[in-house]
Structure 1
Amino acid sequence: MSRQRRLLAREAAHLAPGASEEAALGQRVFVAGSGSTLTDADGNRYLDFAAGTLTQSIGHCHPEVVTALADQAGRLWNVHDSATADRAALCELLATLLPAELDTYAFFTTGAEVVEAALRVVAAVAAPGRNRVGALRHGFHGKTLGARMLVHWDIGHQSFAGNSILGYSPYCYRCPLGLRYPSCETRCADLVVRHIADKPQVSALIFEPVLGAAGVIVPPPGYWDKIARACRDSGVLLVADEVATGGGRTGAFLACSWLGIEPDLVLLAKGLASGFPFAVLAGRSQVLRGPEGAAAGSTASTFGGNPLGIAAALATLTVIDRDGLIARVPGLAAAMRAGLDDLHERHPMIGEVRGAGLLFGLEIVHDRDSRQPAPELAGQVYRAGLDLGLRTAMGGHILRLAPPFTTTADELDEGLRLLDRALSLVEAGGR
């Protein structure tokens, strides 16, 4: 029995079920990472085209992040939310990376925690009568109660609709209105305006600029123009969940900047600290510094902004900024798009390829005419890729690809070659 099998058997006696699909299907025990590669307990190596879980923007175990964490671990770990030596430096660095109007920050640990913090801010600053929030269908904001209520994510027989109003996301491949872009004239956006922006009881629209977990749903031109303008005109706060896209993933530090959206609050996490738990709530000073949203304890958290997280984030963002890594994203993305478009032509199980910078989604279907989702085929491609030495991200019938910004051209070519082989094996019935 391999070492991986022994370790998995040991933990299975005590570990609760409910792991991600990729962990449950993959059955791998990873023990080391360096740059774009991972190594498992049996010594097998993998190209990591999931970048952890979109966290390893500068690759696994970058030496400067390792040094920063090790040095900090020898000095100080936690003093609640008291100031520490590097916190001011991190604030100043964020101020150079973010749009100038997003000049005020609060620190947390996870994406879901920062979503909950944003919900508290929205509730605190909302004018009387503005007691509802908007969100988008197919959105994902975490697994906490507030995050689930945003998108009406029910558990068991319990309903968590809360006080949110859902608008249509720009899911062109599966348009719920049965229309086609551009002749549709972004009717989905018109309905978001009607049902959310134009409602006087709505205080904020909480949204992913590019919907990640839903399958990298990239908005067509015009979608956010209409919605953002209407929200601004009607006083509805724009709260951008950039947990997945923030930090340069789309080729700009914020996907909002890439799409021309000017949010009031932005939520950041995954790509900021090389996989160390760390999240940022960034916002306009008039929102975060006003008396309504600045009560004592409103941005405090037991582990939020701890010295280790600050060290990891400061080192990660310093490398991204100093080495110009975001500037590498468009070139890598173009090469990856070309390769994936070629795979789309040759493999009919790929219904559509969607991408925003170095974040791509492959919609796996039984056939392109019916567009029937094929989660079982997606799982087979995912497992075949692992067996060949390629790690992707999957959920349902979607395969996501999000390699580190430090990925080389040779690694990109190799990853696409392995994905091609995985798709061919599944099509031939080899999995």
Structure 2
Amino acid sequence: MLTKEDNEIVMDEDNIREYDKRYNLHSWSAQKNLNPLVITKAEGIYFWDINGKRYFDMSSQLVNVNVGHGNKEIIKAIKEQAERLPFIGPSYAVDVRSRLAAKVIEKAPDNMGKVFFTLGGADANENAIKIARMFTGRQKIFSRYRSYHGASFGAANLSGEPRRYTCEPGLTGFIKFFDPYIYREKIEFKSEEEASRYYLNKLKEQIIYEGADNVAAIFLETVTGSNGVIIPPKGYLQGIRDICDEFGILMVCDEVMTGWGRTGEWFACDNWNVKPDIITFAKGITCGYEPLGGVIVDKKIAEYFDDNVLMCGLTYNAHPIGCAAGCATIDVYEKEGLIENSKKMGKVLGAELEKLKEKHACVGDVRYIGLFSAVELVKHKGTKEPLVPYGKDPEKIMPRIIDKLRERGFSTYSHENCILVAPPLIIKEEELKEALSILDEVLDFVDEYIEKT
């Protein structure tokens, strides 16, 4: 029912959902049978629907609300900036831009020199592709099969997983290589180091076949994100760094999901003391309070553009309100000790996930670093047959699992045969364990399902 209060149209649940379905297009979905939750409130690690039901936000929405919902300091910074200077073109110097750029470089690895701000992760990767090609004078770009770098055309071509298919035939020069996905590898490695040598040797061979002098950059999610939270084995990232140095190739780490404390460090590459040439970021820089992303380049690339034109531009590059939100967000990380809490609670998360793996027949593997984790579901632990085939789910079992979690107040998403668990970095131990008890309950349902199939 529609009513008016103080010249504002007030909509009830049915109207909100009806208008949503009538006028909005939802991403990654056939529209006809959608039945979206109507959300009215969010605070901390929770959000509520219009009927007052509370949900644990166990994916931090899209792995971006790191500081939780409703942080007053970030909201205050946005309000003050909107009142003072809501927008000015990107060619001008503005205090919040200067402050945020300095803060980003301070937190990044010490080889980094400057940052180019964007609106999100996809356009950060788009611009990183351009920068890599401009700087090297080369065209080919390597990226991995189990990767997602964004849905815009260049970022989709950079991506390896099935969401790139609708952008094919695609752009030339994008080459895919395999991830260090040890759980699914048919070879039984004696150690992580042996696995790293295997994957790195295959990559090096592929680069030679493609013509090393033609390769501008190797892009990789430092820790593979939605495609399974695949954590690089020991020696892998340093091996990528060494290959890049040998052939004059840029190492680009996509830290859109993993940056800003998600893995227990400011950037995930810090876990392995590896210094990329370029880092792309978004999500956790403002935690969704404002759209913002960026490309951090090392000092040699920054110096190159002192005398060479940077052919990148966005109307909303370094938007003042986004920058104000970014400054406040970094302050919140520091004041509340959220990087440290991510590491501390990550140990609790890991221990609880290992218990689920031991208990449930459907759990083939669990992977975790900081508050970034995935539960990989299988039909049989011995054969490791995935619960759903790659790129297919004919019985819609994964959506059914996610629906059962949501019915019990646990909100997250799945991709392929993995359930993502990545709560806000503010989560407390008792909250984490309470939420995971819901996951435990739903995994009982999955165990029953695989017994019948």
By the TM > 0.5 criterion, same fold?
A: yes
Structure 2 match to 1:423? 443
Cα pair distance change 1:222/1:355, threshold 3 Å: same
Structure 2 match to 1:172? 182
Of the three residues 25, 32, 54, the one matched with 1:45 is 54
Distance across 2 between alignment mates of 1:326 and 1:273 = 15
Distance across 2 between alignment mates of 1:411 and 1:5 = 32
Q: Which moved more, 1:314-323 or 1:7-16?
A: 7-16
Tell me if structure 2 keeps the 8 A contact 1:190–1:226.
no
Alpha-carbon offset, residue 137 of structure 1: 1.6
- Unaligned ranges ≥5, structure 1: none
Distance across 1 between alignment mates of 2:197 and 2:29 = 34
Cα pair distance change 1:156/1:225, threshold 3 Å: closer
Question: 5 Å matches for 1:3-22?
Answer: 4-19=13-28
Question: 5 Å matches for 1:202-221?
Answer: 202-221=215-234
Letter of the aligned partner of 1:144 in structure 2?
Answer: S
Distance across 2 between alignment mates of 1:321 and 1:20 = 38
Identity fraction in percent: 26
Cα pair distance change 1:309/1:364, threshold 3 Å: same
Structure 2 match to 1:71? 80
SS at match of 2:264: coil
Structure 1 match to 2:292? 278
Structure 1 match to 2:6? none
Cα pair distance change 1:270/1:293, threshold 3 Å: farther
SS at match of 2:327: helix
Distance across 2 between alignment mates of 1:288 and 1:299 = 13
TM-score after normalising by structure 1: 0.91
Structure 1 match to 2:405? 385
Of the three residues 347, 351, 369, the one matched with 2:382 is 369
Letter of the aligned partner of 1:346 in structure 2?
Answer: K
Cα pair distance change 1:132/1:209, threshold 3 Å: same
Tell me if structure 2 keeps the 8 A contact 1:243–1:269.
yes
Tell me if structure 2 keeps the 8 A contact 1:46–1:389.
yes
SS at match of 1:364: strand
Structure 2 match to 1:263? 276
Tell me if structure 1 keeps the 8 A contact 2:263–2:370.
yes
Tell me if structure 1 keeps the 8 A contact 2:40–2:49.
yes
Tell me if structure 2 keeps the 8 A contact 1:124–1:293.
no
Structure 2 match to 1:99? 109
1:341 aligns with 2:354: yes
Distance across 1 between alignment mates of 2:35 and 2:354 = 26
The alignment yields a C-alpha RMSD, in angstroms, of 2.4
Runs of 4+ in 1 over 6 A off after TM superposition: none
Letter of the aligned partner of 1:135 in structure 2?
Answer: S
SS at match of 1:60: coil
Structure 2 match to 1:27? 36
Structure 2 match to 1:126? 136
Question: 5 Å matches for 1:278-427?
Answer: 278-291=292-305, 294-295=308-309, 298-375=311-388, 376-427=396-447
Alpha-carbon offset, residue 285 of structure 1: 2.3
Structure 1 match to 2:236? 223
Cα pair distance change 1:115/1:370, threshold 3 Å: same
Distance across 2 between alignment mates of 1:172 and 1:377 = 25
1:144 aligns with 2:152: yes
TM-score after normalising by structure 2: 0.87
SS at match of 1:226: helix
Alpha-carbon offset, residue 323 of structure 1: 2.6
Alpha-carbon offset, residue 6 of structure 1: 4.6
Distance across 1 between alignment mates of 2:212 and 2:415 = 34
SS at match of 2:123: helix
Tell me if structure 2 keeps the 8 A contact 1:35–1:60.
yes
Alpha-carbon offset, residue 426 of structure 1: 4.2
Cα pair distance change 1:265/1:26, threshold 3 Å: farther
1:389-420 deviation line (CA, Å, top 9, x unaligned): 11122223211111111111111111111111
Cα pair distance change 1:315/1:306, threshold 3 Å: same
- Unaligned ranges ≥5, structure 2: 2-10, 389-395
Cα pair distance change 1:364/1:246, threshold 3 Å: same
Structure 2 match to 1:54? 63
Structure 2 match to 1:194? 205
Alpha-carbon offset, residue 9 of structure 1: 2.9
Alpha-carbon offset, residue 232 of structure 1: 1.2
Distance across 1 between alignment mates of 2:339 and 2:35 = 30
Tell me if structure 1 keeps the 8 A contact 2:41–2:47.
yes
Tell me if structure 2 keeps the 8 A contact 1:112–1:143.
yes
Cα pair distance change 1:185/1:206, threshold 3 Å: closer
Distance across 1 between alignment mates of 2:266 and 2:65 = 15
Letter of the aligned partner of 1:84 in structure 2?
Answer: V
Distance across 1 between alignment mates of 2:312 and 2:159 = 24
Tell me if structure 2 keeps the 8 A contact 1:32–1:40.
yes
SS at match of 1:74: helix
Alpha-carbon offset, residue 213 of structure 1: 1.9
Distance across 2 between alignment mates of 1:308 and 1:406 = 24
Alpha-carbon offset, residue 156 of structure 1: 4.6
Alpha-carbon offset, residue 379 of structure 1: 2.2
1:35-67 deviation line (CA, Å, top 9, x unaligned): 101111111111111112111111112110111
Paired residues, number: 423
Distance across 1 between alignment mates of 2:76 and 2:167 = 48
More helix by proportion, 1 or 2?
Answer: 2
1:207-231 deviation line (CA, Å, top 9, x unaligned): 1111102111111112222221121
